[in-house]
Amino acid sequence: MRRVADDCELVREYIEGLRRRRKTVTLEELSTRLDTNDWGRIHAAITPLLEEGTLVPLKTAKSNGSTEHPLFEKYRIASEPVPAHDLTALHPALVTSTYLERHAVECDKWWSELTLLSAWLGKGHSERDATLRERCWEVFGNEKVYESRGLSACVRNTSGQELRELLVVREDAPEDLPFVVAPGVIAPTSVVVVENRDPYLAIRRQLLAGHRAIFGMPVDAVVCGYGNKVRQAKGASLRFALESMHTAPDVRVLYWGDLDREGLAILAALRDEGLVEPFTAAYEAMTHARRSEPRPSPDGREMPTPSLDGIFEGSLRDRIEAIARDEMLLPQECVSFRAMGKAMP
């Protein structure tokens, strides 16, 4: 006589095979796999999978009506369980938020790298005696691991810091940021830094065409910040760009980026370094654009809402805080090329 354990193992193997391509399995399929219509035998075979949550009856599935051997015409196949990890084993700098607790898949995916980083942080290293690639080799045994956007995002969301900041790296050669200076300008006194490529190209085109003001502000040059790159290493790349264009000693640098937690965090970080001030007129234009309804933000949702103290005031601050608080995004691109042309007459 076939044992219940054998039936259960047969069903388990069948479910594991389906998991890669299916989300449900029918009672008819289970009956065929076990080669039986005996409700008692089928129920006994799938009970362990029901108790552990591998199989879950669909809410809309019809029951066989049996109280002794209840079966349903269709079951949902649960996702493969994610191993649990002891977060208390990580360095405190890596658990400043609840991100890892609420994102078990990401935690498991990057657990090896997180534990290696945690061990290195535990040594209290503070010397900037290695480049980013050298440090990645030292910590992870992979000099290019910093190129993984997934790991970088995981570290940023759980620690509130960029990976390169935690690794305490030397920035002898900051990465170049694209910039353009208006024709005829020798020492720019007003520079606009934009987070994204399209607004950069729009302002660049207008500058090269001889238009020197945007939203009522004089502009001598524009820099493309390329997202988070502009804030890395305390704004080293931005400092390099400003030095390269030989700005005036009293240069005014205005920053303009997306309205979401990520974009506001970039602005706050650069402002804290004394590098920029907000381009208030541009942010006002975003909130009054033709299509200015924010959408759910795909980035920075696990980040804390950056403090806007001293950055924005009045109703503009209220509108921006609401966007960040609700984990929404209003992208720079809501101010189009056409709108930019009107803003730079």
pLDDT in tens, 106-135: 888 899 999 999 999 999 988 888 888 899
pLDDT at 1 over 50: no
Contact criterion met (CB below 8 Å) for 64 and 114: no
**3: DSSP letter:** -
Contact criterion met (CB below 8 Å) for 195 and 230: yes
Which two tokens mark 202? 């729009």
Task: Read off the pLDDT of each residue in 96-112 and give the average, rounded to a whole number.
Answer: 87
pLDDT in tens, 50-73: 887 788 898 888 888 888 889 999
Which two tokens mark 303? 């980040």
Per-residue confidence (pLDDT) for residue 291, from 0 to 100: 65
Cα angle for residues 234, 316, 252 (degrees, 5° grid): 40
Closest listed residue to residue 182, CA positions, set 217, 226, 218, 227: 218
Averaged pLDDT score across all residues of the chain: 87
Name the percent of the chain lying above pLDDT 70: 93
C-alpha torsion sign, points 134, 140, 141, 142? negative
Stated as kind and residue range, the H or E segment containing 100 is: helix 99-102
Distance between CA 340 and CA 206 in Å, rounded?
8
SS (H, E, C) 111-132: HHHHHHHHHHHCCCCCCCCCCH
**304: DSSP letter:** P
Which two tokens mark 275? 């590098």
Is the pTM of the predicted complex or chain greater than 0.75?
no
**Backbone dihedral region for residue 19 (phi beyond 0: left; psi -120 to 50: alpha; all else: beta):** alpha
